[in-house]
Chain A
Amino acid sequence: MKYVDEFRSAKAAEVYFRLIKRTITKPHVIMEICGGQTHTIMKYGIEEMLPKELTIVHGPGCPVCVTPLEMIDKALAIASLDDVIFTSFGDMLRVRGSKDDLLSMKAGGHDVRIVFSPLDAVNIAAMNKDKKVVFFAVGFETTAPANAMAVIEAKRRGLKNFSILCSHVLVPPAIEALLSNRGTRIQAFLAAGHVCTVMGYEEYIPLCEKYKTPIVVTGFEPVDILQGIYMAVKQLEEEQYKVENQYGRVVSKEGNIAAKELLKDVFNIVDRKWRGIGTIPQSGFRLKDFYSEFDAEKVFGLEGKTYSEDPRFRGDDNESKCIAGEVLQGLKKPSACSAYGSLCTPEHPLGAPMVSSEGVCAAYFHYKKREGAAG
């Protein structure tokens, strides 16, 4: 596949492994933000090949993992109604709320459908005027414009039976939350390349300067990741801190201006709760009042409704042993969790990072199996 295979070349990967090894003289800790990058690192065994001085920690960039429990419970409450068709990307279906998940609801006879694009949900609404069609709008800045477009399109087509349950999260406030934590050991970031195709990388420059931390916008193929790591290591060794772009073939400094304009038109920036981490100020999107007829929380009267977190998922409960919160902040690796691989597996997950295929615990489990399990 063009523009994919070239970036999976074993020879190019070997070159970057050797360059990293040659450049590094002291220990460094680098965090990759995005779950897609975590997946590549695990799938290709990149971590094992890197010099021992280098520690790669995995960030909170899995929207499925950080969607708060109350949003899942709101999704379940809506999906349980007889006149509703609930639509979602597939990976949200297995995440448990306080009692259940969307897949079990589907198995129980409720109309829950997986869609490829939010525009598919709009088409379902157009074809089922007697039903209320709700789309679970989850994701980072990469996905938010697509969901904004679904709302615009529903409005253009005059659909009165379409709404979105909006739980969007934003990357830069999460990076700031991680860096401002005094206990952080992160010295450099690989920024999520696909978020930057939309947003560009201007907003990372003040973060990089404030925390004197290198940030390298990085792609998703193995050679992309290795080149990104090499660029970050080089900066750390030279005691520099700047924003660099490894992923120039699809990321520009200003990003996609039309998509950014759309985000401004449709969403307000609000505080958002991240599962396992807590509330991060100004870290999410919510529909503007102008589009309130498409806001499922308003349509179904769920605004302000809270649900209590099951202690097993909270990550601070001795009984559960789940350390999802610390794993999502890069403080601990899944192998440091005593439940990993024994009590907690993809078939029977305790925490959200074991549910999504991009979740760090699931990535460890799929590619590293039980190596290092139970400490």
Chain B
Amino acid sequence: MCLSIPGQVVSIDETVPELKMGKVDFAGIRKDVCLQWLEDVKVGDYVLVHVGFALSKVDEKEALSTIEMFKEMEGLIDERKE
């Protein structure tokens, strides 16, 4: 039930200050998403969405450093040639 999916913010609507909404694109499917809990969210950001609410921004630096670590680990394994 905690299924949450990353998507990209394509627009932000702050007409109702208590309920900041936006459109989020999930690989071509666009949904209305509440962005109220993310203060500094901008169009183009990737956010993690659960039941129509953005829970957090995807930290691009962290994501890239994890992916980079995968590559380093691959190198390590290849070097040792099990």
Chain A residues with CB under 8 Å of chain B are 1-4, 6, 9, 11-12, 15-16, 18-19, 22, 34-36, 61-64, 89, 91, 116-120, 138-140, 142-143, 145-146, 149, 152-153, 156, 192, 194-195, 197-198, 220, 223, 227, 248-252, 256, 258-259, 262, 356, 358
Among B3, B19, B52, B74, point to the contact of A117 (Cβ < 8 A).
B52
The answer to whether A36 touches B3, judged by C-beta atoms less than 8 angstroms apart, is: yes
Does B10 touch A at the CB level, under 8 Å? no
Query: Closest A-chain residue to B50, C-beta based?
Result: A142
The answer to whether A3 touches B6, judged by C-beta atoms less than 8 angstroms apart, is: yes
The answer to whether A18 touches B70, judged by C-beta atoms less than 8 angstroms apart, is: no
The answer to whether A138 touches B53, judged by C-beta atoms less than 8 angstroms apart, is: no
User: How far apart sit A223 and B67, CA to CA, in the bound complex (Å)?
Assistant: 10
Among B1, B37, B73, point to the contact of A258 (Cβ < 8 A).
B37
User: How far apart sit A102 and B17, CA to CA, in the bound complex (Å)?
Assistant: 36
Counting chain B residues whose Cβ lies within 8 A of the other chain, the interface size class is 35 or more
Does B51 touch A at the CB level, under 8 Å? yes
Among A89, A227, A250, A356, point to the contact of B59 (Cβ < 8 A).
A250
| Contacts known (A197-B4, A223-B70); A116 close to B56, Cβ less than 8 A | no
The answer to whether B55 touches A259, judged by C-beta atoms less than 8 angstroms apart, is: yes
| Contacts known (A19-B73, A118-B51, A152-B18); A143 close to B2, Cβ less than 8 A | yes
Does B58 touch A at the CB level, under 8 Å? yes
| Contacts known (A18-B77, A194-B55, A198-B55); A36 close to B63, Cβ less than 8 A | no
Using Cβ atoms and an 8 Å threshold, which residues of chain B touch A356? 1
- A sample of 7 more A-B contacts (CB under 8 A), given A117-B34, A142-B55, A152-B18, is A1-B26, A15-B77, A63-B1, A117-B51, A142-B4, A145-B55, A262-B37
Using Cβ atoms and an 8 Å threshold, which residues of chain B touch A252? 56
Chain B residues with CB under 8 Å of chain A are 1-6, 8, 18-19, 26-27, 31, 34, 36-39, 46, 48, 50-53, 55-60, 62-63, 66-67, 70, 73-74, 77, 82
The answer to whether B53 touches A139, judged by C-beta atoms less than 8 angstroms apart, is: no
The answer to whether B18 touches A358, judged by C-beta atoms less than 8 angstroms apart, is: no
The answer to whether A194 touches B6, judged by C-beta atoms less than 8 angstroms apart, is: no
* Chain A min CB distance to B35 (Å): 11
19 contacts between A and B (CB under 8 A): A1-B6, A1-B27, A2-B8, A4-B6, A12-B74, A15-B77, A36-B2, A119-B52, A149-B19, A149-B53, A153-B18, A156-B19, A192-B2, A227-B66, A248-B62, A249-B59, A250-B57, A250-B58, A358-B1
* Chain B min CB distance to A16 (Å): 7
* Chain A min CB distance to B73 (Å): 5
Among B5, B51, B67, point to the contact of A116 (Cβ < 8 A).
B51
User: How far apart sit A156 and B18, CA to CA, in the bound complex (Å)?
Assistant: 9
User: How far apart sit A196 and B77, CA to CA, in the bound complex (Å)?
Assistant: 31
* Chain A min CB distance to B79 (Å): 12
User: How far apart sit A9 and B73, CA to CA, in the bound complex (Å)?
Assistant: 13
By secondary structure, the A interface counts as: helix
Using Cβ atoms and an 8 Å threshold, which residues of chain A touch B63? 3, 6, 249
User: How far apart sit A11 and B67, CA to CA, in the bound complex (Å)?
Assistant: 12
Using Cβ atoms and an 8 Å threshold, which residues of chain A touch B39? 258
Using Cβ atoms and an 8 Å threshold, which residues of chain A touch B26? 1
User: How far apart sit A152 and B5, CA to CA, in the bound complex (Å)?
Assistant: 24
The answer to whether B59 touches A138, judged by C-beta atoms less than 8 angstroms apart, is: no
User: How far apart sit A64 and B52, CA to CA, in the bound complex (Å)?
Assistant: 19
User: How far apart sit A195 and B48, CA to CA, in the bound complex (Å)?
Assistant: 12
The answer to whether A197 touches B36, judged by C-beta atoms less than 8 angstroms apart, is: no
User: How far apart sit A19 and B82, CA to CA, in the bound complex (Å)?
Assistant: 11
Using Cβ atoms and an 8 Å threshold, which residues of chain A touch B67? 6
User: How far apart sit A12 and B3, CA to CA, in the bound complex (Å)?
Assistant: 23
Using Cβ atoms and an 8 Å threshold, which residues of chain A touch B74? 11-12, 15
User: How far apart sit A146 and B51, CA to CA, in the bound complex (Å)?
Assistant: 7
User: How far apart sit A143 and B50, CA to CA, in the bound complex (Å)?
Assistant: 7
Among B38, B53, B56, point to the contact of A146 (Cβ < 8 A).
B53
The answer to whether A35 touches B55, judged by C-beta atoms less than 8 angstroms apart, is: no
User: How far apart sit A277 and B71, CA to CA, in the bound complex (Å)?
Assistant: 42
* Chain B min CB distance to A335 (Å): 24
**Best-surrounded residue of B26, B51, B59, B74 (most CB of chain A within 10 A):** B51
The answer to whether B66 touches A64, judged by C-beta atoms less than 8 angstroms apart, is: no
Using Cβ atoms and an 8 Å threshold, which residues of chain A touch B19? 149, 153, 156
